[in-house]
């Protein structure tokens, strides 16, 4: 047990998964954290707003993003234009605005998830039989999902139905990182730092469920280029490698919000045929699955992310 006088030094080590074991809120009372405490208080206020005010606040956020966070807005525009270049200009413009709203509302959904979990929401689960069939296998389950706009709320929905761990990236602000991790651990079984591969494999081999989201641009070092909506995207072939190392099966899950209502639908899909002996082909398999999911509710993907930041040699920047 830690001595009350011992003040742990915050580490940004992305292999260290012990955040909530090492720290406590009393470690962050210094004046340098006061602005962060105010931000956390703001998240609590947002989480408890009536639903109509949440919608209104999201529209206000859209205006703020366009005015003061133009790089984020321009990223949404560039992504939509790259992925839906076949749409007429007016439909493309409408999708850009819808995607901006969904991504802005995703910030509010995150506050709701961290503070209230899924309280106050209507959740519909489809495909429950697919999870039951997966459990019959007896091995650990790599719960495969991706960066939809309701990212943390999706995790809360998942964790309320299935015992599962999740992977996270440490935030540079130690108080916010502790708040974020502790909040997530209210609805998931455990959290693992994003580079703590040994812990991921250990959990899977023990028969645990682990949520995994590989659909971001992690640079060219360990990536292959796989078409996403016809655009080459740097993609890590880690899904099948992790499943293979952990002797796990891969169960894909998607979720979406019904219009602007507080109703959400989570779908548990049939097992994905991963891993095979071809990790590159496996990567194409899950990217194709993701593309099909995004096409159903294209505005609710995380278009804030620069998915095409890394380009094949000689290709111009998408952004």
Q: 137-152: per-residue pLDDT in tens? A: 999 999 999 999 999 9
State residue 14's pLDDT score. 65
Asked if pLDDT for residue 187 goes beyond 90, the answer is: yes
State residue 6's pLDDT score. 58
Mean pLDDT across the stretch 235-247? 97
Asked if pLDDT for residue 301 goes beyond 60, the answer is: yes
Asked if pLDDT for residue 199 goes beyond 70, the answer is: yes
Give the residue from 15, 281, 295, 315 showing the smallest Cα distance to 167.
15
Mean pLDDT across the stretch 290-314? 97
Q: What is the 3-state secondary structure (H, E, C) of 237-305?
A: CHHHHHHHHCCCEEEEEEEEECCCCCEEEEEECCCECCCCCCHHHHHHHHHHHHHHHHHHCHHHECCCC
- Reading the block at residue 148, the tokens are 């939809």
State residue 1's pLDDT score. 46
Separation of CA 297 from chain center = 16
Contact 301, 257 (CB under 8 A): no
Q: 50-64: per-residue pLDDT in tens? A: 999 999 999 999 999
Q: Residue 236: CB partners within 8 Å, gap ≥ 6?
A: 214, 218, 222, 223, 224, 283
Q: How confident is the model at residue 20 (pLDDT cuts 50, 70, 90)?
A: confident
CA atoms of 145 and 78, how far apart (whole Å): 23
Give the residue from 169, 184, 193, 166 showing the smallest Cα distance to 253.
166
Q: How confident is the model at residue 13 (pLDDT cuts 50, 70, 90)?
A: low
How much is the mean pLDDT over the chain?
A: 94
Asked if pLDDT for residue 2 goes beyond 70, the answer is: no
Q: 71-108: per-residue pLDDT in tens? A: 999 999 999 999 999 999 999 999 999 999 999 999 99
């Amino acid at each position: 047990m830690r001595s009350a006088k011992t003040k742990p030094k915050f580490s940004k080590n992305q292999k260290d998964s012990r955040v909530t074991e090492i720290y406590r809120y009393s470690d962050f009372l210094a004046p340098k954290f006061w602005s962060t405490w105010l931000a956390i208080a703001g998240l609590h206020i947002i989480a408890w707003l009536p639903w109509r005010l949440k919608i209104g606040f999201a529209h206000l956020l859209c205006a703020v993003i366009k005015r003061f966070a133009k790089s984020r807005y321009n990223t949404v525009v560039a992504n939509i234009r790259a992925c839906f270049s076949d749409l007429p200009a007016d439909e493309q413009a409408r999708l850009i605005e819808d995607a901006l709203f969904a991504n802005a509302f995703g910030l509010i959904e995150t506050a709701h998830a961290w503070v209230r979990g899924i309280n106050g929401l209507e959740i519909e689960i489809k495909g429950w039989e697919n999870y039951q069939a997966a459990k019959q296998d007896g091995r650990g389950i790599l719960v495969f999902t991706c960066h939809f706009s309701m990212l943390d709320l999706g995790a809360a929905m998942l964790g309320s139905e299935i015992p599962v761990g999740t992977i996270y990236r440490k935030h540079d602000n130690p108080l916010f990182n502790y708040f974020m991790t502790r909040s997530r651990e209210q609805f998931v079984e455990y959290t693992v730092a994003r580079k703590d591969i040994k812990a991921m494999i250990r959990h899977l081999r023990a028969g645990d469920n682990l949520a995994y989201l590989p659909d971001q641009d992690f640079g060219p070092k360990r990536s292959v280029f796989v078409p996403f909506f016809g655009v080459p995207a740097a993609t890590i072939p880690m899904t099948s490698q992790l499943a293979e190392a952990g002797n796990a099966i891969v169960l894909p899950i998607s979720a979406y919000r019904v219009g602007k209502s507080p109703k959400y639908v989570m779908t548990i899909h049939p097992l994905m045929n991963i891993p095979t002996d071809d990790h590159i082909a496996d990567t194409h398999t899950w990217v194709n699955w993701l593309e099909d999911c995004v096409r159903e509710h294209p505005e609710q993907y995380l278009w804030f992310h620069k998915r095409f930041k890394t380009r094949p040699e000689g290709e111009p920047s998408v952004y």
